[in-house]
Structures are given as structure tokens and as C-alpha cells.
Chains A and B, each alone.
Chain A
């Protein structure tokens, strides 16, 4: 059981990493990975690149903020046992609604529609004060406490994120093997044939988007506990592009690429400032991303796979 071995290794990381590495690198990468997973899932199995994943994560995050403890005096407090499922339900419904809107678009048109939805949501949160508190957004959000331990504690949040990430991967694997998951892949491969057989394509598309809304929403909830705040900037063009970058450098061929991409992205984002003049760090980030896209057009995950494959081959050649 290799995945279990990896998981055990990762679960033991809090014993060796300090709080900085655990929270600002490992936990952040896991959370970003979960949100990006919702995109790589859509890209891999439905063949649609969606720019609205930051919006879906934002819907869940804003729900937690509005119905939770915050310091801006907007919204009212509900117990976490109510607000967490509510956040997941809302992000799932929003995902389904986006799928319904974008159901007839593929390729560049799907990108345009989802981008428009994402940007519209961004401007809406910035202008609306009754629900989203505009530019300033929500701050002072606290994660729930279980038996006196705050889920924001470095080890607790890390383990929770790790568990969620593992569960998300299991759910994705299960979903794609289910009858619905198979029809989703059929829509990707031959929508025309499916229609000719009399199978409607709307249901698989909406379901796939709703499922990705659920994944993005669970990442969004973890993200707001990690950030302890949310504002229009959290759903703006910056995060939208970050999620895309994470997915692209990880590779859109396999959903787990999201986590590979997230680790690379977070390391780069955190340490570029230390490697180069503090006013020029964005240049370094851009250059490295460009290099990755040129050297590994199918993402780092694919590159590593190919690399290992070749290594194994040359080893077996040597023993002959």
C-alpha cells in the first residue's frame, strides 16, 4: 500500500517541521492543492478549464465568515456544525449553477464564461457591503475549537488539511469510477456520440461542476481558517491565476498534479524574496514558471513520471 505509506510519512511531518514550515509552507500548499484539485479534476475528466474555482472557494469562505465569529460586525453567528455544511452546500450549488451556465461551451469559450463569472463575483464582493463587507472584507475569523484545541493550531490545521486532501483524492478516484463519473468522461471524449445515443449531456456536466464546487468549497473553508480573513482580493484575478498556475505546473493530465504544483508554487512564492533583490522577486517567479512550462509542457508530475520511467529503463538495460 504505497499511498498509505506516503500518508503516514506526511502525517508524521509535524514532529520534525517547525511552525513556519508546517503552516506557511506545508499547510498552505495542501490547501492550495485542494482548491487546484477541483480544477485539475474538471480539466482531466471533463476536459474543461474553469476559471471560477477561486469563486467557488470564496463562496464557502464567505459563508464561514458571514455565519462565524468576525470583528467587522457583519452577519450573525451560527454554530460551526451548521455553518460548515451550509458552506459546502452553497459552494456545491454554485458549482452546479456555473456548470449549468457553461454547459454548452468548451475550450476557450468555457474559459471565457467561467472567467467572466469569477470577475463578476470579484467586483460584486468589492461593491457589496451588506453581505461581503466590500473592499475590507472580513477579518478576525477564528477556526472552531475541539476539546480546547483550536483547529488553527499549526499541527491541527496541517493534519486537518492533510486528511481533507487525502479524502478529496479518494473521492475523486471513486467519482470517476462511478457510472456518473464514466458518463462525465464520455462527455469529454465524444459528446456528439452521447447525444446520438440519446443520453443527455447536461446532467454529467452539472454534476462534475457541482462536485468540483464541493472540492473547492472544502479547500475554501480550510483557507479561511488558515488566513483568518477574507476579502474581495481573495477571489480576484490574482488567486484565479494562482490556481491556474498551480494546476499547469503540476500538470493537467492527472488530478494529483495539483499537489505537486502547489508545493512548487508555495516554495517559490515564499522564498523568491530571499533569493533575489526584494523589489525584483516577481521577475524570478515569472522566469521559473516560464522555464517549467517550456521544459515540462505536461506539468512537473508528468516530467517526474517520465524521468523515473527512463531511469528504470536504463537500470534494467544495465543489468542485462
Chain B
């Protein structure tokens, strides 16, 4: 009897697991739904779902099903998630992933699955599209360098910084961010005498704090989340008083809302970002309104992740509509439509792809300001339209500079 029961429950388990849905087109969405990034990863999913909801879950009579899968910020887990989506769930498209090195991993994986189209979520390492690009991997967004455009010039020209030290996490996305900052700052004449690379999740920054040269004018901090809070707190406690320049994920609202005397350091700090949650553009207001309508339990405004997953899924929906949801012939027509697609983004610019299938995007330079009630916010000081991946440089010279790393670029 017991054996019988076990057998039945085992069969039931696989029956549930094996249930395939009848949707015509399946879209797999990979985002980080566990660990420290879970809340932000969830917002990415919301962005992708919003784009599908906007077309009513149907394109030209073909129903669209969204299947989500979690990764944990590691490239290995993103690859496992993608394999499961493709091999078990049979998805036609993948939207994601969220973070830099995951994107590099999926770019490589996409070459093994030519029948599936990959559309990058918010991962922003440079080489995901620049070098070794993959025919079926698209990015309707920028890389970390594009997200810093405008900041280097602003720091040199407007704020008068001539020498800046860099502290950043030690992996592909911050490398790309540092490149974006230094490309402008160094060619304007600025110097970066010292760069400090710290592991993600580092708690003790004292060795870095005391090694920062005294003669720099400011520090460029490309750390995320808790790392940024830890560094700024320890720097402030050690008596550091250099002005801060922020990366794209350094100075978000959660840091501005946190408590601590280090906030004094942040007032006036510039940063580069593709997404400003309270941007007052017309298209952004409409996007934010439909986001809050669709997800009352979401954030008060779409985050950078919701914004980028939305653009990725929206591009998929628009291209599907153009080819009448026809994915035959290894999705050739669909990919051509994606390649030639143009649409107005929530930030008001015109999204289109370059020859490596990387987005040409809008970027913002923001600045931290103190509101009348004493709380801090970010305001836009400059909008730069049509930023491409080569940062406006000549392709050959840009590629000749070599892949970004700890030591590249360099201008001591």
C-alpha cells in the first residue's frame, strides 16, 4: 500500500511538473528573485509584465505567456535558469538577466541556442555586445559606460575637479562604469591617480579609506547598495571630507533615505544614470502612472530595473507585432524586425540599435539636493540624448583601447 502511495505521488509530482501551457509564444524572464537583490529583481519582472499587459497579453491573435525564473546574481545560476526555460518550458524568447557578469554568460550561452532570441534585461557589462557579440543577443539599453556619459565633463568643467580617486567593486559592471567616467574626464584633462577595487559585500573599508591620496579633489564611488553605505559611513567616520561622485547604482533613493552623518558628503554629488524615478518628462509621467496602476504594491515609481526590463519586453512585443507573431525560420524575420526597430522610450528619447545590437540611449546627469524638509533627493542637471556604445568615439580607436579591466583605462 505504501509503495503504491509513493508511486502515485511521484507520478502526480511529474504530472504537475510536466504540464505544458497552450500559449502560442512563451517569453522567459530571468531576474534575481533571491538574496540581497530580490526586491529590485522583482521590479524588473514588473517591468516586463507591464509591457505584455499593455498589449493585452496578445499579439496578432497569438497569446503571450510570461514565465519567470530566478537567478542569484551569479553567471552560473543565470545559465541554469536559461537552460531550464529553453529545454523544459520551451520558451521562444528570453528577457534578462539583471547583472553584469550574468549578461556575459547568457551572451555565450545564446550561441548554443540559435533558435531562441535573447533580449538583455538590465545587465550592463560592455563586452556583452561590444566584443564577441552574438547574433541572437539584443540589448535595448546601454552599458555601464553609456550610463556615465556626461558625468566626467560635468565634474571637470562645472565642478572644477582635476584629480579624482576611484573606488569600485571588482567585476565587469563597475569596470565599465569607470570607463564611462574616465573616458570623458581624462580626455578633458583630468587625472585618476589611484583606483581601489574591493570585493562585493566587503564590510571593512578602512585600508582603502586611509590610502586615498590627500591631494585628490573628489572620489568616484562606484559601489552598490550596502557596500556604498558601508564605505561612506567609514569614510565619514575617519574624517574624510572629499566630495563624492556617484555611479549609476551608488546614490539611489534608499541611500538618500538612510540615516547617518555621511549624508552631508552627498549633497551636491553628481551621478550618471539612465533612469530618474521622478523625472518630469511627459512620457515618463505616463509610464510611471501605468506602472503604479498595474502594480499598486510595487515601488512608488519604476526603478532602473523595471525601466530596462520594460524596454526589453516592449521591443519584443513591437517586433512581434511587426512580423505578425511569426517566429518561423529560426525567428529570422523577428530578428530583422528587432534590429530595425525604433520606438520612443519612457525617458522621451528614440531607442534604436547599433550594428552590435546594443541600444542608443538617453542618459542623465543628476545631482543630490536637500529638500526644504531636510530630506535628500536627486534632481536632473543634464539630459544627454543619443549616447552610443562607442561614446561618440571612432570605432577603431575605441576597440584598440582593449577590453575594460582593473588597469584599463588608465590616466594617472
Contacts and interface: CB of A to CB of B under 8 A. Distances in A.
Interface of A: 19-20, 23-24, 71, 73, 123, 126-127, 129, 134-137, 139-140, 227-229, 231, 233-234, 236, 238, 270-271, 273-275, 278-279, 281-282, 307, 311
A227 B81 CA distance: 12
Nearest to A271: B17
Given A129-B405, A136-B104, A24 B171 contact: no
A233 B75 contact: yes
Given A231-B74, A233-B76, A24 B199 contact: no
B98 to A, nearest CB: 15
A281 B34 CA distance: 10
Contacts of A278: 33, 68-70
A139 B199 contact: no
Contacts of B17: 271, 274-275
Contact of B199 (A73, A123, A129, A275): A123
B108 A139 contact: yes
B50 interface: no
Interface residues of B, number: 39
A135 B198 CA distance: 12
Nearest to A308: B3
Contacts of A271: 13, 17
B171 A134 contact: yes
A234 B76 contact: yes
B230 to A, nearest CB: 18
Nearest to A152: B112
Nearest to B18: A274
B191 interface: no
A23 B172 contact: no
B87 interface: yes
Interface of B: 2-3, 13, 16-17, 19, 33-34, 38, 42, 68-70, 72, 74-77, 79, 83-84, 87-88, 101, 104-105, 108-109, 111-112, 132, 170-172, 199-200, 403, 405-406
A24 B76 contact: no
Given A24-B84, A127-B199, A229-B76, 7 more contacts: A129-B405, A136-B101, A136-B171, A228-B109, A238-B74, A270-B84, A275-B16
A24 B42 contact: no
Q: Which of B74, B77, B79, B83 has the most CB of A within 10 A?
A: B74
Given A270-B84, A273-B69, A279 B33 contact: yes
A103 to B, nearest CB: 31
A275 B108 contact: no
Contacts of A137: 75, 101
A203 B263 CA distance: 60
A206 B105 CA distance: 37
Contacts of A126: 170, 199
A229 B79 contact: yes
A135 B33 contact: no
Contacts of A129: 405-406
Contacts of A24: 83-84, 87-88
B101 A231 contact: yes
Contacts of B405: 129
Closest 8 CB pairs of A and B: A233-B74, A135-B171, A20-B87, A139-B108, A271-B17, A136-B101, A140-B108, A274-B17
Q: Which of A23, A135, A233, A270 has the most CB of B within 10 A?
A: A135
A23 B87 contact: yes
A135 B87 CA distance: 27
Contacts of B406: 129
A20 B85 CA distance: 10
- Which of A127, A140, A275 counts the most B-chain CB atoms under 10 A from its CB? A140
28 contacts: A19-B87, A23-B87, A24-B87, A71-B132, A73-B403, A123-B199, A127-B170, A135-B172, A135-B200, A136-B101, A139-B75, A139-B104, A139-B105, A227-B76, A228-B112, A229-B76, A229-B105, A231-B74, A231-B76, A231-B101, A236-B74, A271-B17, A273-B70, A273-B84, A274-B16, A274-B17, A282-B34, A311-B3
A73 B104 CA distance: 14
Contacts of B13: 271, 275
Given A24-B84, A231-B101, A279 B70 contact: yes
Contacts of A127: 170, 199
A307 B3 CA distance: 10
A20 B86 CA distance: 9
A137 B101 CA distance: 9
Contacts of B74: 231, 233, 236, 238
Contacts of B132: 71
Contacts of A273: 69-70, 84
Nearest to B101: A136
A136 B70 CA distance: 19
A127 B199 CA distance: 8
Contacts of B88: 20, 24, 270
